[in-house]
Amino acid sequence: MKNTIKRKIITLVLFVLTAGPMFAAAQNGETRINNPITSNTLDDLVERILNIVITFGIPIYGLMVAIAGFMFVTGAGTPEKRKKAINIVKYATIGFVILLLGRGVVALVRSLI
């Protein structure tokens, strides 16, 4: 019973916080929703998404290789840790190659269309 009342109060508060700005905008007579996607073509959108993925992917790859190197060095010859570190490098490299091939795939599709 107590939990249900808490949920209702939280729902009411969230509704008031989200609906308030909408009602204020409606009184102003200006109710338009701006498009958050600034790309005008699908080609441009794919290019922007790919740039974002590559921007985040390159440092993540470096971090994964550094973590694997740390695991390899601190494993003290333990075969499990050594194998785990090698797998991390292997899968991170496969992901990185796929990430870099993404731009080539986009160029290939553009040339075919």
pLDDT tens-digit map of 14-65: 877 777 666 666 555 666 667 777 778 888 888 888 888 888 999 999 999 9
- Rg of the chain over CA atoms, in angstroms? 25
What's the whole-model pTM score? 0.60
13 or 82: which carries more pLDDT confidence? 82
Q: How many CA atoms lie within 13 A of 23 on its CB side?
A: 6
Helix (H, G, I), strand (E, B) or coil at 39: coil
How much is the pLDDT for 22? 65
Contact 81, 75 (CB under 8 A): yes
